[in-house]
Every structure is written in C-alpha cells, then in structure tokens.
Amino acid sequence: MPGLLALAVSGFLMVVAFVASVMSCFDTCESPRPGMSAGAVGAGEFFVALAAIVLLVAGLAQPVWRRFVAAALWAAIALAIGFVALH
C-alpha cells in the first residue's frame, strides 16, 4: 500500500512542480521563492519517485524487508510533501 501511494504522491507532485514552473514563466522566469526553483522541486520529486520504485522492487525481492520498506516509503511520501512545502 505505501509503495503505490508513494508513487502516486510523487507523480502528482511532479505535475504540480511542472505547472508551478510553467505558471511562473509568463512574463519573466522567476521563482516564487528566492533560492528555490520549481525545477529543483521537480528533480527532488523525480528522485523520490525513483526511490519508491527501488524500494518497491526491494520489498518484492526480499519479503523479510517489508516492514523496513514500508517505513522507508512512508518517509518518501513525507519527503515528497516536504519538497512541495519548500516551494
């Protein structure tokens, strides 16, 4: 459950970062928050999605690791939401 949720959350938040990047470039391309670009948030979301995929594969390959993988995926969801909160 947390694996699919982590993929869905990070995928949705990648779309949010992309829309924020596009919406901030109508007149001038400036970040709404100085020092943090929407591209950096999108890259962070990409790596969270990549980590979710790796953890899903690891959890399927080693059933003994399921509790650790579930905890790591919940942390990945929190990290994905944190990236958007920084933006």
Backbone angles phi, psi at 25, to 5 degrees: -115, 30
Distance from the Cα of residue 28 to its chain's centroid: 26
Question: Is 14 among the domain residues?
Answer: yes
What is the pLDDT at residue 55? Answer: 80
Total number of domains in the chain: 1
- Residue type at 40 in one-letter notation: A
Would you state the structure tokens that stand for residue 11, as one six-digit string?
Answer: 């995928």
- 18, part of any domain: yes
Instruction: Tell me whether residue 28 is in a domain.
Output: no
| Tokens describing residue 18 | 């992309």
pTM of the model: 0.63
What is the extent of the structural domain holding 9? 2-23+37-86
Higher per-residue pLDDT: 36 or 70: 70
| pLDDT at position 36 | 60
The reply to whether 50 falls in a domain is yes
* Sign of the C-alpha dihedral computed for residues 42, 43, 49 and 55 taken in this order: negative
What is the rounded end-to-end Cα distance, in angstroms, of the chain?
Answer: 27
Q: What average pLDDT does the segment 33-39 reach?
A: 60
Regarding predicted confidence, which is higher, 21 or 68?
A: 68
Would the pLDDT of 2 be above 80?
no
Confidence band of 42 (pLDDT split at 50, 70, 90): low
